[in-house]
Structure 1
């Protein structure tokens, strides 16, 4: 009986060692994956900063005014005037949809009661 418990204990130790070995490598793989994702996030943030800087550079008022002056004949752009803006009560909203008729009543076949 003692040898059975020793063998059982040895198998339990081997099983736990195998489990710990697998968990160790799973943990290392998860950590490397997390580091990879962090570096991708950093690169994406860097690209976003560059794109925001380019957008700000391209939308400079002086550059846009130069483009308007160059393309004035083709585009016919004029400065905005206050009368060109509408009011909220001038917006035509769509009419609400009609509700479906679920229980119709036929009134043409009804007789007049005296």
Structure 2
């Protein structure tokens, strides 16, 4: 029986004993985090329905249909973050008591259709977003 030096120094192919189950679970979550992000985008756009969140739904569905969805989600993630942040900032401004200063329509379209309206309890909606 001949054993080469390369066979002795090769690490075992199974999981290492030093890796805990929490580490392995975290590794799986990190590898599949783009799926969680796409699901979160869809849930947000369905929960807070307006034309601005409809764009978010279309964006998530488009990424979901691509073959290289992990790569596409990674490329789009900064823009998705900025878009979500812009939606939250717009909702924050429209939640203030600034009815005389803020417009309610743009042309013939009501801003309520875009999700820009004042709720009775705006902090709850912003906190949920």
* TM-score when normalising by structure 2: 0.23
Larger radius of gyration: 1
Structure with the bigger RCO (C-alpha within 8 Å, sep 6+) is 2
